[in-house]
Structure formats: C-alpha cells, structure tokens
Amino acid sequence: MRAVVQRVSACAVTVRAEVVAHIDEGVLAYVSVEPADDEQDADYLADKIVNLRIFPDAQGKMNLSALSARKELLVVSQFTLHADARKGRRPSYDGAASPAEAEPLYRRFLELVAAKGITPQAGVFGAFMEVTYTNRGPVTILLDSKRLF
C-alpha cells in the first residue's frame, strides 16, 4: 500500500456537488492498494499515519502525531499512486489493485485507523471526487508499506 500524507488546516471531499467528508486541522491521506497487499500492509500504514510526528509541539518542533495532538484524519482512495509513468506519456495503472481487490483492504485500513484511536473521515471509494485542502507547512510525506521509499 502507498500513501501521500499531508498536514492540512482544512480539507473537504465533494462528490456530485455534495460534501461527503470534511475535517479541520489534521491529516489528509491519499491511499492506494496493490494486488500483493494484505492486512499487514494496511496495519503498517494505519500505524505509521496516526503516529507520524508532523505536528508542532510547544517549541514549534514537529514532534507530535495526529493521535497525540488529537487531530483529525481524512482518507481518500487514490489508485493513481501506483501509476507507472517511466515509459511514454500515458501512465500505466497495472500496479494498482482492481476495485474488487482494493476496496475490502481499504475498508479494513479505515477500521485499523479507528482501532488506533482516530475515527477517520473518508471519501467515497471509486467515485470521482473533488478534494479541496490547505496544506499547512507545507508538509507532504510519501509512505509505502513495502518500504520502497
């Protein structure tokens, strides 16, 4: 599984002109599943995201996690994180799991995040979504459960 994690001061997801999820200060996480992923990958990412120390402490040092700072989390499924654009100009999405494979693990990921102490807001799996946010910092971190980067 892969994720792009951003520290945000506000975030909202809209589907067909309806806001389906929103948070104030917290974390926006785009999450993608590949065919070889399993619950261990989901648990690794869930733990990493809720405990990633990207919020400032009293001295202004990024030393607090979303969990310890009591921040919110909004999760958006995004298969394009597994795009391969090394050849040609049209990315290949063969590295992403099919929706039938990805959705159960994505749902399990949301459950694991909740079990770790943050009830996540979420976009609509497989929908065309408009995501609006203000990246605070900016802080953007790439994560991969296989630890490729």
Catalytic residue among 6, 14, 55, 78: 78
Look up 134 and say whether it is catalytic.
Answer: no
Catalytic residue among 6, 14, 55, 79: 79
E strand segments, the chain: 2-15, 18-23, 26-32, 53-56, 62-65, 72-77, 121-122, 130-144
Look up 121 and say whether it is catalytic.
Answer: no
For Cα atoms 77, 80, 86, give the angle at the middle one, nearest 5 degrees: 160
Look up 78 and say whether it is catalytic.
Answer: yes
1 and 31 Cβ atoms separated by less than 8 Å? yes
Catalytic residue among 80, 132, 134, 140: 80
Active site residues: 78-80
